[in-house]
Amino acid sequence: MDKNQIIELLKTVKYPGYKKNIIDFGMFQDAVEADGILTINLRIISDDLEKLQIVRDEVSRVLSQNAYPNTKVIIQNTMPKVETGKIQSKASHNPMDGRVKFASAKYVVAVSSAKGGVGKSTIAANIALGLVQKGYKTGLLDLDVFGPSAPMLFDINEAPLVQDEHTIYPARKYGLEIMSFGFFIEKDSPVIWRGPLVMKLVDQFLSDVRWSELDFLILDLPPGTGDVQLTLSQKIFITGAILVTTPQDLALLDVSRGANMFQKVEVPVLGIVENMSYFICDQCQALHHLFSRGGGKKESERLKVPLWGELPLSPLVMQQSDKGEPIVSAKPDTKEAQAFMRLVEKLIDTVATG
């Protein structure tokens, strides 16, 4: 068998409903030939059995027409790594032993990046609003102590209701429940939180905020791989993390750094999102790729983490964030909002099987 030829052939198989093929999605694992039978191993995290069957049939068809008459297609369709609440207890020195399931949400999803300013907060907010549009009860917890975004992104200026020391109610806007460090600090005042205090605050946000019974809690994390990430992942089970990057950083190993950290703390990385990948011209609506392409794909193949999507660099995204109503809520019919909605669908697909 010729593996390169097989990969080329599989590139003609699109994932149903998408323009992208199964190779570019990183779904191909390997091809093995034994006793005259070619076995193709795919990993597709989805519980849409109909789509999986279409892929299976299409792969068999393409291969049989091209010199591989006897093929078997095996699709692994669940998360291979740890799942929420199912981490077996390890030796007692493992700092992860103390994790508890977060009581107020079925799924806790962290939006993270090793580098700052790549669009975590924008993506966290728009994904959260997209989940609301899909009918999920959703909360957004902005844990960026040093540069909280939620007050601006959602134009919330008043402090949330604090009933007593241990009862804080989240703000509500556009159908979303929102809590942020930013609600408790003066605008523009410098914030000097020391490490232990930061952890105490994270703790308090996890225990004292009265969310309703949520389907999803989306965490907007500060950049990097520091205290907040570690504290969090030691305290509660995080269903998974979404890693955000931009085309330029892919070469700089930021994604690997983020992925390594989550691996260490046993949080599965659900997907990589490449932000500001292309530009949508506000005059002609055409898509322009400003940076070299394919970095996200390469990194996702290397880390064996699916590339969930590429988001446009668009003035509209920024303007809506500045106005206090993110684009998914304000202008759901735009191409930009639809790009965010595709991520939401990936997220739902992924955790629904996890």
Ligand X SMILES: Nc1ncnc2c1ncn2[C@@H]1O[C@H](COP(=O)(O)OP(=O)(O)OP(=O)(O)O)[C@@H](O)[C@H]1O
Binding site for Mg ion (CB under 5 A): 120-121, 144, 149
Q: Which does 80 bind (CB under 5 to 8 A by kind): Mg ion, ligand X, none?
A: none
**Amino acid identity, position 289:** H
Residue 325 corresponds to which tokens in the numbers above? 């109503």
- Asked if 52 and 19 count as a contact pair (C-beta separation under 8 A), the reply is no
Least Å distance between CB 35 and ligand X?
A: 50
Q: Residue 24 touches which of ligand X, Mg ion, none (CB < 5 to 8 A by kind)?
A: none
Dist CA 142 CA 124 (whole Å): 9
DSSP state of 256: H
Which residues lie across from 28 on neighbouring strands?
Answer: 42
Written as one string, the DSSP assignment of 187-212 is: TT------HHHHHHHHHHHHHHB---
**From ligand X, Mg ion, none, which one binds at residue 306 (CB under 5 to 8 Å depending on kind)?**
none
119: which DSSP letter?
Answer: S
| Closest CB to ligand X among residues 199, 343 | 343
Q: What's the closest the beta carbon of residue 118 comes to ligand X, in angstroms?
A: 5
CB of 112 to ligand X, least distance (A): 9
Residues near ligand X, by CB under 6 A: 113, 116-122, 144, 147, 149, 223, 275-276, 311-314, 317-318, 321
Contact status, residue 31 vs residue 6, Cβ threshold 8 Å:
yes
Backbone angles phi, psi at 314, to 5 degrees: -145, 130
User: Nearer Cβ to Mg ion, position 144 or 299?
Assistant: 144
Q: Which residue's beta carbon is nearest to the bound Mg ion? A: 121
For the chain, what is the total number of helices (H) and then of strands (E)? Answer: 11, 14
Q: Which of ligand X, Mg ion, none does residue 223 bind (CB under 5 to 8 Å by kind)?
A: ligand X
- With CB cut-offs between 5 and 8 Å by kind, which of ligand X, Mg ion, none does residue 294 bind? none
* Residue 144 beta carbon to Mg ion: minimum distance, rounded to whole angstroms: 5
